[in-house]
Amino acid sequence: MNSNDKRGSDSISIEESIKINPAEEFTKLGQQHEYKKAFECYFKGSECGSNEAPHYIAEMLDEGHGCEKDITKAFKWELIAANRGNPISQLYVGFYYRDGKVVPQDYKKALQYFTLAADNGQYDAAFILGINYLRGDEISGTDIAKVEKYLFIALETAKTDEEKGSVYNELGTTYGGCYAADHSSSEFRNRCLWFLDEAAKLGNKNAKVNREKMEKVFEINKRIRKEVSKMRPRLYPILSPDFCKE
């Protein structure tokens, strides 16, 4: 018997149904516009230590469903859920601190909660961190190793082709940038083209454009290396000819 069947019987209350599947029950109560009842039930669930109930209380406070709209209180409940390990709440708390919404803007705390969410397998947080570490913004700075780490977490947790395509595209441009900075290995170039091709197969609109850009960059770099190679004997006459070999 599934939770829907249980809710249809007289033996299971809304409170008990929430314990079985809080997310499903939240959707169901919302569809039935039983927000006040939902608010009461999730409050009880939170008192029992649930890490999902506070999140749904925050959702209702944020939207004003079953209670008076109060974004400040919504943050407080989201923070409770986040500190109990709810990855979606950790993501949302990261947004609160990043954007300075309700609370003072705090990039250090934003990074802390985005990292918690990503390490708990939350796709959006992992993707955001991958981009942040790639572009080196005020939240995280640049760290290519962490770009790889979090983009691969995002890839593992992606649920749709669109999400996977976005990650493939970012990984492709990341490896393309690595190759542009370090021509000693063709591995970066091969990875770049492979990931961009995979992104294009999944319908990512930016992948084809990025591949064309990278091909041009690779060709320019190839010419530069060739010209530099020709100049080396004149620039460094005391070095062995082997120094100039590719």
**Predicted confidence (pLDDT) per residue in 114-163, tens digit:** 999 999 999 999 999 999 998 888 888 888 889 999 999 999 999 999 99
Task: State the average pLDDT for the chain.
Answer: 81
Question: Which residues, in sequence order, are CB contacts of 201 under 8 Å at separation 6+?
Answer: none
> What pLDDT is stored for residue 6 in this prediction?
40
Provide the pLDDT for residue 237. 47
pLDDT at 233 over 80: no
Its pTM stands at 0.76
**Cα→Cα distances 42→45, 86, 205, 238, Å:** 5, 15, 42, 78
Average pLDDT over residues 194-220: 91
Q: Say if residue 235's pLDDT is above 80.
A: no
| Per-residue pLDDT at 243 | 41
Containing 138, the helix (H) or strand (E) segment is: none
- pLDDT: which is higher, 227 or 42: 42
Cα(24)–Cα(31) distance, integer angstroms: 11
Give per-residue pLDDT as tens, 9-58. 344 555 565 555 565 666 666 555 677 777 777 887 787 788 888 998 89
Q: What is the pLDDT of residues 70-116, one digit of tens each?
A: 999 999 999 999 999 999 999 999 999 999 989 999 999 999 999 99
What's residue 70's pLDDT?
Answer: 93
pLDDT value of position 183? 57
**Most distant CA pair in the chain, distance:** 93
Burial of 204 (0-12, 13-18, 19+ CB in 10 A): buried
226 pLDDT more than 90: no
C-alpha 125/C-alpha 132 separation (Å) is 10
**pLDDT for residue 8:** 42
CA distance 40 to 57: 9
Phi-psi map region of 118: left, alpha, beta (phi>0 left; psi -120 to 50 alpha): alpha
What pLDDT does 239 receive?
45
**pLDDT confidence of residue 222:** 73
Low-confidence winner among 127-131, 180-184, 192-196 (lowest mean pLDDT): 180-184
Q: Which pLDDT does position 30 carry in this prediction?
A: 58
Least confident range from 9-13, 203-207, 225-229: namely 9-13
pLDDT of the residue at 205: 93
